[in-house]
Structure 1
Amino acid sequence: MLKSIALIIVSVMNLATTPQTPAKISSPVVETSMSKSELGDLQEKQVHFPNGDHYWSKRIDFTASSAKRFRFTWVIEGKNGTFRYLDRQQGKAAWKTIPLQNPLPKATGFITTDKTSTILSSPAFYREQTHETIYDLSSQASPVSVQETKHGYALTYSYPIEKQTTAEVWALQSPATLIDWKQPDLNVIWSGLDMHENQKWLAKGFYVKSPSTYRPTGKNVYWRIPDNYLAASFIKTGGSRAADDLGWVMLQTALSAQTKAGYWKSGPCSTWLLNDYNIGCGFYDTRFNTDLAELLLRGYQKYQERQFLQATLTYSHYLFKHIDQEKIVIKQGDRQGWLVPDYGYEGKHKQSNASLNHMLQEVNYLYRLYLQTQEEKCKLYAERILEGIRLLGTKWIRSDGNLHYAYLPDGKIGMQDYPYLTYNDLLETQSLLQRVYGQKDPVLQRLMDAKKKWMDAHGVTGYRVQESKNDVAVDVDH
């Protein structure tokens, strides 16, 4: 399935040449509360980090309407405040720093005073719809107002009070510097992290604009995607205190959306999945799910958070079940491999296509999980999928040198591949094969060489030029 995937590829320097086990890390303390008023239901979340940082979010679901406006007010300590934000006017993005004064631009902002460092969300206002989607109404929220006080600044969010709408705000605060803007790489990294326009970070998770093939859809419709591109940058790239804090918060938030079966549903209906495969709303997307499961594994390695490990292990069992039930068996003489359909659904449905990039990510995830847990089943299933890819060999290569996207239910190979996503996946697979077996795969190398030649001939940039080496092994009892 062709989707618009925002990928931020950043090279990370690995300071260790051998896996190391980090020191034990204390878990953040999470507090949640709910209260009711005549206007609506208020939900609050507080996350207190061992390093002294503090994340909080406030959300009110209005159950009544009023001509008045609802206000959130909170105080930032310190003087000489500044507000740093990404100005995206006229299609260009540029960092701007202005005095912390009234009113603030409607943007995710980075506030600095002589006492604190804060990341402040843009005002979020929306109406929840069916199938884990929202209709964005943020244009109706007022810009954040600023009032200088004796000890700091009072910041106020103002929203319309309209029944069946929701208002939200979140912030991350620290007595230390959250992001060192003197590091040029961090300016580049954070300029690509959209938290309030085409993507939104909200109390229930990560949302992106709904594709035209999804229902519901529309200019202002966003859906909660199982994957999280922001968390991917925070976990894989890091580089700042803010990334470490927000990465943990986002992974912890994702846990509540995991089903009892072990996966994360794509809530909306996809018209082409429904028409072609009878796959309805609330389907299972192997790429989005496996991406998130890999992040949870990396999150466990980074934070030593047991609940992240348990969540990814639970998902792996569901992935095994999906493979067992849906797999396409490819045979060639005595050799046998598997291709894994991209989608699953709890209702009766037809077998879907099996995309090369989806399967490579499954292979990569299972090898990573094997390296972490030494669970042989992970390696066995990864080998079976890899063998299925190998048995098709150069059939994956199109006549123009690009790669085909997927193996189709009718036995043909076709569809348009992404510009460079599959190449990055292949590079990662080769790196993992080197770690597990001490050698790379020649069939995959031929696919990589063909894709690389096609990318260079067509001016495609942004693909990875080196293998990922920033992995840390952590001992685990399971």
Structure 2
Amino acid sequence: MVTSPKMKKNIIFIPLLFALLIYISLPQLYVSAEIQDQRFSDVHNDFWAKDEVTQLVEEGIINGYPDLQFRPSVSIMRGQAANLLAGALKLPEAPYQPVFKDVSPKSSHLRGAMATYQEGIFGGKPDGTFGTGDQLTREQMASVIVRAFKLEDTGEDVRFTDDNKISESHKYGVKVLMQHGITTGKEDGSFDPKSPVNRASFVVFLHRAMIQAGMLEKESPISFNKPKTIGDFDPIRFEQQFVEVPITNEDKTFLRSNHYLQLVTKRVQPYAHATDHVYIYGVSGMKSTRVTVTKRELPNGDYFVFTELRNPQRLPIRVDLVQIEKGIKENRLEPYSKYPMKKDIDDTFGFDIATSPIGVLETVSDQGTGQQMIAKSYRSRDLEMKYPNGALSQTRELHDEKIAHSNIVMGPNRVTVYELYSRGYDIVDQWYLSSAEKLFSSNQRMDAWMHESIINYKKRNKWYTANGPYNKMATTIEPMPASGRGYGRNLLLVKEDRVMLLYNQTQERYYEDLLHNSFANLTIFRGNKTYWETEVTSTYLKNLYNFTAPFVDTRFNEQIALFLYNGGKAFGHKDYNEGLRNYANLLVQQQKKGNVSALTKSAYYIPDYFPAKQQVRTHTSMNHLLGGMNILLMAYQEFKDPIYLQTASAIEKAIQLDEKKWIRSDGDIWYKRDPNGQFAGRDYTHLTLEDLIHSYEKWSAVDKTKLPVFERMIKSKAGYLNKNKKGYTTKIKEGLERINMSNLLPAGAEHTDAL
């Protein structure tokens, strides 16, 4: 067959025209679908009733839950259905009538029950109740909707495969509902009359009825913008109880659980440099189970939130802290996990299963750019050991840590969930720090802290609580669980020495916040005393001297006094020297108490430890001794009281008399002097040299005649480190520079923390 040029043109033109028509029509199909942000985290593009739910929510006929979930699979109760129908039909208010036993004038179902009863939509039950808390069954729903919209029998013969299961009183309603196409039944041809109606199904039935009645206009299909999530955000499908926690005025914060939560106690606890707002909630049906939320307000406007779920019962329980925030523009998490953590088994501390916080969440909102440091949750149990003399040692066994944070951003709204899951007989802690400003001024500064924290994971706090941080304790403590996972509040880590140094160098907001928190934690730990006692028994000391917790560790108290002194000066605290005076006074009192090891009347050592419940004199180690002497010299300079100089001079004289005994044959220093005068133990690698340098500096300002003994000991200790290439700390390097002895800097690597 021969095709003419004209026919060829027509053959080409027709397909092009057809394609053009399709092309023109396709955009119209997409334009007709309305694009909007999700309202609820569980009503998304793949949800079968999204259009009906969205329209009825927009009409104000039905709402979601406080956590921005719709919970489509939750059953509708009769009281809820009555309220919804009264609103959808705009039924007139009906006065209260004492018709139903379960509907009082103060009932939340009063309007719905009275209005639908008056209109003949709902009737009561044989027992005289409305059944407000009873599930609405599918056959009941059919009758209710038929009566509500006055639907009539069309005469069409319709049947379900399970007609015989439909109650006689509801057969008419089910039949009419199907005649009008409001229900088509299940895929297998059944109606399933006795099953409860869930929220999604009820909305669809109500929506169809309202469309048929001309009460709503059918809208175009909806397409949602894809929300953004961080973490394993998983909506909870079941009914939950909510109680609001007043964390901020701008956002909503709730506790969420499948158990009823009730506020038991709220209090405000002011500290010198922070204020705690404490909310304690009881959990219904679980005696002694408590949820405590503590908001710690800091002087700069930032705040910590510490959440504790304490469950002494056998049954598991989950409680979530849920935040709803508006005006969110960007949501980005910088995780610690980008830096791999290499762990080891320490001879002293064993294996530490705790790792790091989750990361820094940066939020750009209508208010600006803020950051949060978000922690994992820590599940543990209390351990106690009581002694015959009334003393007590307290630790915790850490069961596990868990990433407990997730969030979803739907348009401008963000839902954040902090999950606390108890398996029973345990405590679950979680914390976060929030700032309307950036915690770190640059990504480089933030990364530097994260990297340092990963490398030095044993000496960086991550498990904070409202009462202080918990860290892996040495294996020589009691009570120690069989798992070896004994954790406690180590006073040396309650004070944030490294953070203080970094704050002085960088003025970063995050370090400032950690320091404010540390000041509060130290106040809490100290209680009503003027000094700090440990709450954990050292089996090493118990075996040596037969004493237990509580006891004063002089090194801990010395370093806390220094920390508060330097921190107080940095922040302009009026009470910056209170800890210094209190600890200096405690040291001075030891001679009068007879708690010293005297060489002469004016030369003596002060022991390392002062037991609270036992009368015993312990050894004196060089690092404790120097630390105490340095505090006394600081107190003398600060307060000009000669008793401080007199006590410091007594320590210096004792060191001078025993100088040759203190120095080992290899140039290192013995660790300790026992009460019987014997020297023993290998000294810390770097710590004592840091102390000797400080002592040299302190005496330089007070009495230079005391310097020779410390200069000789510095040279001996530094020579030992140099010979063995043990390296040095940053403090040693800077200290030697200040005293013009840089030539003594030991060979080897530089360390951030003393070994």
Shorter-chain TM-score bucket reads 0.7 to 0.9
Instruction: Report 1:224-235 matches (<5 A).
Output: 224-228=489-493, 231-235=496-500
Give the Å deviation of 1:358: 0.3
Aligned to 1:54: 303
Identify which of 502, 511, 527 aligns with 1:237.
Answer: 502
The SS at the match of 2:491 is: coil
Deviations 1:153-201 (A, max 9, x none): 4332323334442222222222222123434865665555648988633
Query: What is the CA distance between 1:128 and its match in structure 2?
Result: 1.5
- CA separation of 1:447 and 1:75: change in aligned 2, threshold 3 A: farther
- What's 2:280 paired with? 34
Question: Within 5 A, what are the aligned runs for 1:214-293?
Answer: 214-218=477-481, 219-228=484-493, 231-238=496-503, 239=506, 240-293=508-561
Deviations 1:329-364 (A, max 9, x none): 123xxx832211111112334321100000111112
Change in CA separation of 1:195 and 1:442 when aligned onto 2, cut-off 3 Å:
closer
1:209 aligned to which of 457, 472, 478: 472
Structure 2 residue ranges without an equivalent (≥5) = 1-271, 345-354, 385-392, 739-755
Q: How far did residue 424 of structure 1 move?
A: 0.7
Q: Tell me which amino acid in the other structure corresponds to 2:433.
A: L
Query: Are the structure 2 counterparts of residues 245 and 302 from structure 1 closer, same or farther at C-alpha, using a change threshold of 3 Å?
Result: same
- Kindly indicate whether residue 598 of structure 2 is the aligned counterpart of residue 329 of structure 1: yes
Say which is worse superposed, 191-200 or 314-323, in terms of deviation: 191-200
Determine the C-alpha separation between the residues in 1 that align with 2:657 and 2:474: 34
Q: How many residues align?
A: 430
Contact 1:41 1:63 in 2 (8 A): no
Evaluate the alpha carbon distance shift between residue 202 and residue 439 of structure 1 in structure 2; reply closer, same or farther with a 3 A threshold. Answer: farther
Query: What RMSD in Å do the two structures reach over aligned CA positions?
Result: 3.1
Q: Report the Cα offset of residue 229 of structure 1.
A: 6.3
Q: Cα–Cα, structure 1 residues 158 and 187, in superposed 2: closer, same or farther, change >3 Å? A: closer
| TM-score, normalised with respect to structure 2 | 0.52
Letter in 2 for 1:70: V
Q: CA deviation at 1:221?
A: 0.9
Residue aligning to 2:359? 109
- 2:279 & 2:633 partners in 1: Cα distance? 40
For residues 195-221 of structure 1, what are the alpha-carbon distances to aligned partners after superposition, in whole Å with 9 as ceiling and x for unaligned?
898863322223332222211124211
Structure 2 CA distance, aligned partners of 1:193 and 1:390?
Answer: 37
Amino acid at match of 1:121: A
Any conservation in 2 of the 1:296–1:311 contact (CA below 8 Å)?
A: yes
Matched, 1:447 2:713: yes
**Structure 1 residue 446 displacement after superposition:** 1.0
Rounded to whole Å, the distance in 1 between the matches of 2:708 and 2:623 is 18
Residues 349-428 of structure 1: matches in 2 within 5 Å? 349-428=615-694
1:182 aligns with 2:444: yes
Secondary structure of the equivalent of 1:201?
coil
Contact 2:533–2:550 under 8 Å retained in 1: yes
Query: Given residue 346 of structure 1, which amino acid in structure 2 is its aligned partner?
Result: A
Hey, what's the Cα distance between the residues in 2 that align with 1:383 and 1:356?
A: 15
Give, as a single letter, the amino acid of the residue that structure 1 aligns with 2:637.
L
User: d(CA) in 2 for partners of 1:281 and 1:248?
Assistant: 28
Partner of 1:305: 573
Measured in 1, the distance between the counterparts of 2:579 and 2:517 equals: 15
> Structure 1: which 5+ residue stretches go unaligned?
1-25, 94-104, 471-478
Q: Which has the higher strand share?
A: 1
Matched position secondary structure for 2:429: strand
Corresponding position of 2:336: 85
Structure 2 letter corresponding to 1:329: A
TM-score by length of 1: 0.80
For the pair shown, the structure with the greater C-alpha radius of gyration is: 2
How far residue 302 of structure 1 moved from its aligned partner, in angstroms, is 2.1
C-alpha separation in 1, matches of 2:620 and 2:685? 18
Q: Which of the numbers 262, 277, 295 marks the counterpart of 2:563?
A: 295
Q: 1:58 to 1:199 in 2, by over 3 A?
A: closer
Percent identity over paired residues: 20
Specify the SS of the correspondent of 2:517: helix
User: In structure 1, what is the Cα distance between the partners aligned to 2:639 and 2:322?
Assistant: 47
Q: In the alignment, residue 125 of structure 1 is paired with which amino acid?
A: R
CA distance in 2, matches of 1:451, 1:304: 37
- 8 Å CA contact retained: 2:439, 2:509: yes
